[in-house]
Chain A
C-alpha cells in the first residue's frame, strides 16, 4: 500500500500520541453519558472523564458516536426549552 503524506503524518502522530494506559471503547461507552453532560454544562472534568476525552481524540468510532449523542441531546434540550 502507498500512504499519502497526510496519511503518513496521521499514522505517525497517532503512534507518537500513544499512552501506556488507554481507555478501551467499552470503558468509554460506560463513562460517556456523564462526560457529555459535563461538556454540555461546562463543568470541569474529573481525571476519569479526561480519560474519555483522550480516548475520543484517538478513537474515530467513539468520537463519531459522541458527536451524534451530543447533537441529539443538544437538539432535545433546545426543543424542551
Chain B
C-alpha cells in the first residue's frame, strides 16, 4: 500500500527531485500495477510483464503531462485512466494486427443486405425489409465511401483507433466521421417517416 497523499502532495512529490520523487513514483507505480493486475487478471492474453510495461509507459506519460491534471478527481484515478487506455490500446493493436480494413470491408462497396429473420412474423418481415430498403437507399445516397468503410469496419467490431490507424487518421476524426454518417442516416430515416420507436418495434 502506498503512502496516503492528497492531490497537492502527489503533485508536489512527483515534481520534486531525488528521494521524494523516487518514492512517489514507486508508490504510484505500485498503485497502478495492483489496479491493472486485478482488472486484467481474468484475461488469458495478458501477463505480468505486459502489465509492468504498460505501467512504465503510463508513468512516463503521466510525469510528462502532470500539468494536464485538473484536480477534478484523485490523481491516482486520473493516472489509472491513462494506464488503462495504454493497456487497452496495446491489446487492441495486437488483437487486430492481422486484420486489414480491406479484408473487413471487402464487400463494402455494396449496400448491406438483410438476412432473413426466422423469428419474425410475415407482417414484421415486410416491415423489416421496408425499413432496411430505406436504409440501403440512404447509405447509397447520403454517405461518402469513407464513411461507409468506417461504418462497416465498426459494425465488424474493429475498434475506432484501429480504424483510424488504417485510415491514417485519429480516433477523434473517425468518431466525427461516423457521427456525421449517423446524423445523415438519421435525418434521412426521419424524413422517410421513421421514429426510434418504429425501429425498436420493427426489430423487436
Interface residues of A (CB under 8 A from B): 1-9, 11-18, 20, 22, 24-26, 29, 31-34, 36-37, 59-61, 64-65, 68-69, 71-73, 75-76, 79-80
20 new A-B contacts at CB < 8 Å, known A1-B108, A22-B179: A3-B114, A5-B128, A8-B114, A8-B203, A12-B203, A13-B200, A16-B186, A18-B185, A24-B175, A33-B73, A33-B77, A60-B159, A61-B88, A64-B88, A65-B84, A68-B39, A69-B80, A69-B84, A73-B77, A73-B80
Please classify the interface of chain B as helix (H, G, I), strand (E, B), loop, or mixed, using the class held by over half of its residues: helix
The answer to whether B73 touches A37, judged by C-beta atoms less than 8 angstroms apart, is yes
CA–CA, A12 and B84, complex, Å: 31
**Nearest CB of chain B from residue A8's CB, rounded to whole Å:** 6
Asked if B14 is at the interface of the complex by the 8 Å CB criterion, the answer is: no
Chain B contacts for A20, CB-based, 8 A: 183
Range, interface on chain B: 35 or more
Closest to A33 in B: B73
Other-chain residue from A33, A59, A60 in contact with B81 (beta carbon distance below 8 A): A33
